[in-house]
Amino acid sequence: MFRTFIDTLGFLTRLAPARVIPEKAMNQCMKFMPPVGLLIGAVIVLPFWLGLFGKTPWIQAWLMVLLNIFITRGLHYDGLSDVCDAVTTHTNPTRFWEVIKDSRAGAFGIIGLIMLILGQVLLIHEMASVKAYGAILWTFILGRAASVWLGYHVRHLTRPGLGKLYIDGATLGTALFAAGFAFILGLLLTGLVTTVAGTVIVSLMLIPIYRLAVKVGGANGDFLGCATMVGEIAAGLGFVLVM
């Protein structure tokens, strides 16, 4: 179990050595997504929670987003960008998958990244300005739980590739664990009202992503990355909504 956790950490972040993971082991990685989110969040948030740049929440917010990009190698950001680029061709599934696999960034992918990063900085600033560092930490957990939950719902739509190995591991039990883990940590880190608000918002935001997967007849790792970013934004929106 610990080996699988380290494998997941190494694949998704710079916090453990990257290595080739057997297919069977990758199927097990999905269950460790929320705990990995907890660790990522702790590494990113703890220095600021302890007072680093404590008088300048804008700087804290910018640095936390920068650390998020660095630690995750921009993996989930790339997924969101790819989906934003391809979504404009959703009426033609063949073209959709051609675009989503294109390594070049198009206008809509860049717009999606700008809006995402701007949103992250703004939302983290709002939380940091009132010293709600537990709420910031929860954004990383909810983001990974959202990825697992979407993965469970698109298992029947997966396309061949690396993402399929992850999505195949998103069983009902794994999805329920992810949801429970995120909800309990939310209660501990940010309280009931914010947890409920974030959970409702992420659920609503995942619906169009799921419908897109159905429309284009498939889902891959980019969809998981997109769901992760949507989950992080939803957690921040939930906090701001009820603050």
**How do the domains of the chain map onto residue ranges?**
32-242
Q: What is the chain's mean pLDDT, rounded?
A: 93
Range with lowest mean pLDDT among 11-20, 131-140, 147-156, 220-229: 11-20
Which amino acid does the sequence have at 138? W
Q: Rounded to two decimals, what is the model's pTM?
A: 0.95
Amino acid 165: pLDDT: 83
Q: What is the mean pLDDT of residues 120-126?
A: 98
Q: 227-238 pLDDT, tens per residue? A: 999 999 999 999
Distance CA 40, CA 243 (A): 24
